[in-house]
Chains A and B, each alone.
Chain A
């Protein structure tokens, strides 16, 4: 037992005391923060003013369009769009959106152009030249008869990629034309808007216990948890493989085997690396919880936090158990591969099958979150290899009866015992075989060897 602890301690320190561990541990929260903040910063950067020429051959649209593209109108539209998403807005949020969108659509400058007496082709040619020489950014040609179904509204822009500005123009134009048509047909615009207002559709799912859950945020939470399990299993599986191959490659195995039993060495390695993984996961979970607590003090995040699925302490225990099940399943497979191959590179090629299985399990997670009680969800959350990736999601979406969880844990524990036994047999012989990669028949022979 003392030797076993020495092995565990050695493997644990070997990983945790490396600066790459520190980097990896800090990188995840930083990346998460980055994904949340960076897009917001980028999109809030002020766009340049778009210089626009409007050729209104119908003579009815230009004024309405200019009006629609004014800063006040754009702000108003953004507020309405936001209101559709969030329901009701409080004062501070409204303020934010207002300042945000006023920056976004920071403007259109209407450039005058004398079209009198010129043909359409002449106009196009002249405007193209002006655009090419950077005098204007875009031009719009409104056809003579806006009610003709074949009429084309020609919009040409130097900045085809500026989708924010282009969309604003398209929306404003659409609206201007519609308003004109309504006016032509003598229909009151505000009345029509009231009739057309869409209903407020609130979608929540009901669990078997009759509790309401938010479907969208459940999906996102499942994705995050599935991703976290998948990534840590892949990373720590490869760490195990690297450690095994190193001892084989440097021939340290020979010395180790003369001091401790191979099985003890292998298990010590699995446990030591596993503890390092738990340390990292603990830090991540801690920082997530810290972020949650911080966010909950921000009043404006209240509606968002309300929609986050409730995670109970019991769920955390389940998650931990399934993380361990997944870890030991895949770590044993990676250790087995490590003791078969001769170099880390060679091991990398053979890492493909277990990673593929993990990825399939990860995708099964989507099926589970859509219908946690389907037959498929039941079977994948029972089976070895897949349960560690799917059962936590099923528990989050809708906790199955405890007997199912226990059965799934039992099945996985048995599978792990079998895998560890198998890996132990291969490890014992494979670690002392230098020079060439083992073939499958050879490995089968090692397993049978007493």
Chain B
């Protein structure tokens, strides 16, 4: 795909708050019809970046383009943003709030009313239409917030931790809605700490840490490029072999199995043979791909380590 087909282009964007640099020279592109996973630990600069994309704040340096235009009121109307910190008016009827949010996105009131009814029905909230927020459970409020994000049928959907507080049934339901949006060639940016969810949903990944890009690309290529020699092992005995530094880099003890990280050039077959020769009883021996979670932790830790080393010098 050529660069011109991307719906969002973030170009060398920097944002500072006083002496603190929240986002440092960050560049990336997002393509329509794909789910873009925007990942990073707390305080990495995710929310600041998202706020610049939706036009809440302006970058100090660099440029942000949506569909080839800089962010303005007309562009904002095509964005649906579900912030991580979100809320509803406490003492207001659900339908009234949704109407207001739709009006702020310039949706004609007749259209808004129709869509509100449709969405409430889909999310099984019809009977709550004329109730106040305080009457709703947390999960129901989440669903209402989601409706307010999609009422204007946005072309870009930005969801910051959309599943927190939802039960599994509703998570599945929302994933279904997201795939509908994706099928309509809309752009979805998805920010989360939950690597399992990200792994399942995202086609492309951007990992940032300490205001900077750490990793980016399609999930597939990242995983392949992250060719770590990992073995899941469930066995009795063989501890001596696992502590052989010429073969094994490190081990991670899980509940009922051990994840063995072999040295880069080591052959798993050699490990298996040596374990068998030592008389170890093996019930599981499996070559595994690194999970997104591993990559995340590895990158963020590595980053921190590199930093402490630099600071120590």
Binding site for B on A (CB under 8 A): 2-3, 6-7, 9-10, 13-14, 18, 246, 249-252, 254-261, 432, 434, 445, 450
B73 at the interface (CB under 8 A from A): yes
Which chain A residues lie closer than 8 Å to B73 at the CB level? 3, 260-261
A448 → chain B closest CB, angstroms: 11
- In the complex, which residues of chain B have a beta carbon less than 8 angstroms from the beta carbon of A10? 100, 103
Complex CA–CA separation, A351 to B18 (angstroms): 29
A259–B89 touching, CB < 8 Å = no
Q: Which residue of B lies closest to A429 (CB)?
A: B57
Number of A-B contacts (CB under 8 A): 65
With contacts A3-B106, A6-B100 known, is A258 near B54, CB below 8 A?
Answer: yes
> Whole-angstrom distance between the alpha carbons of A347 and B54 in the complex?
29
Residue of B nearest to A434 (CB): B85
Residue of A nearest to B60 (CB): A450
- In this assembly, does B56 line the interface, its C-beta being within 8 Å of a C-beta of chain A? yes
Are B56 and A3 within 8 A (Cβ)?
no
Given A250-B90, A259-B101, A261-B73, are A2 and B106 neighbors across the interface (CB < 8 Å)?
Answer: yes
Q: Is B148 in contact with A255, judged by CB distance below 8 angstroms?
A: yes
Q: In chain B, what residue has the closest Cβ to A10?
A: B100
Question: Are A252 and B104 CB-contacts (below 8 A) given A258-B54, A258-B76, A445-B18?
Answer: no
Q: Which residue of B lies closest to A450 (CB)?
A: B58
Judge whether A250 and B89 touch: CB under 8 Å. Answer: yes
Residues of chain B lying within 8 A (CB to CB) of residue A18:
91
8 Å CB interface, B70-95 against A: 73, 76-77, 79, 81, 83, 85-92
Tell whether B34 is near chain A: CB-to-CB under 8 Å: no
The contact size tier of chain B is 20 to 34
Across the A-B interface, give the 8 residue pairs with the lowest CB-CB distance, nearest first. Answer: A250-B87, A6-B103, A259-B104, A258-B54, A251-B85, A254-B83, A251-B87, A258-B81
- Which of B55, B77, B88 contacts A250, CB < 8 Å? B88
In the complex, the chain A residue whose C-beta lies closest to that of B79 is A258
Task: Kindly identify which residue among A3, A250, A261 contacts B103, using a CB–CB cutoff of 8 Å.
Answer: A3
Complex CA gap A54/B88 in Å reads 77
B158 (CB) vs chain A CBs: closest residue = A258
Whether B56 pairs with A258 at a CB distance below 8 angstroms is yes
B105: Cβ under 8 A from any A Cβ: yes
Cα–Cα distance between A2 and B106 once the two chains are bound (Å): 7
Which residue of the partner chain B has the closest CB to A11?
A: B100
Given A249-B87, A254-B85, A258-B81, 15 more contacts at CB 8 Å? A6-B103, A18-B91, A250-B87, A250-B89, A251-B83, A252-B86, A252-B89, A254-B86, A255-B83, A255-B86, A256-B104, A257-B56, A259-B101, A261-B73, A450-B58
Q: In the assembly, what is the distance between CA of A10 and CA of B101, in Å?
A: 10
Nearest Cβ on chain A to B80's Cβ, whole angstroms: 9
**Chain A neighbourhood of B101, CB < 8 A:** 255, 259
| 7 interchain pairs, CB-CB under 8 A | A2-B103, A13-B96, A249-B87, A251-B86, A252-B86, A432-B51, A434-B85
Q: B147-183 interface mask toward A, CB cutoff 8 Å, 1 = contact, 0 = none?
A: 0100000000000000000000000000000000000
Contact residue among A13, A246, A251, A255 (Cβ-Cβ distance under 8 Å from B81): A255
Q: How far is the CB of A337 from chain B (nearest CB, A)?
A: 20
**Closest B residue to A265 using CB positions:** B104
B86:A7 contact, CB within 8 angstroms: no
Q: Which of A13, A259, A445 is within 8 Å of B76, CB to CB? A: A259
- B55–A258 touching, CB < 8 Å: yes
Contacts of B58 in A (CB 8 A): 450
A262 and chain B: residue at smallest CB distance: B56
Nearest chain B CB to A134's CB is how many angstroms away?
Answer: 57
**Residues of B with C-beta under 8 A to A14:** 89, 92
A149 CB, nearest partner CB in chain B, Å: 73
Residue in B76, B87, B104 whose CB lies within 8 Å of A7: B104
B135 CB to nearest chain A CB (Å) = 15
Choice from A3, A6, A252, A445 contacting B87 with Cβ under 8 Å: A252
Is A252 within 8 A of B88, CB to CB? yes
Interfacial chain B residues near A251, Cβ < 8 Å: 83, 85-87
CB neighbours of A259 from chain B (8 A): 76-77, 101, 104-105
How far apart sit A260 and B51, CA to CA, in the bound complex (Å)?
13
For the complex, what is the distance from the CA of A106 to the CA of B49, rounded to whole Å? 84
Q: Is the CB of A260 within 8 A of B104?
A: yes
CA distance in complex: A252, B76 (Å): 16
Q: Which residue of A lies closest to B85 (CB)?
A: A251
Please report which residues of chain B, range 174-206, place their CB below 8 angstroms from some CB of chain A when the two chains form the complex: none
Q: List A contacts of B56 (CB < 8 A).
A: 254, 257-258, 432
Name the A residues within 8 Å of B90 (CB-CB).
Answer: 246, 250
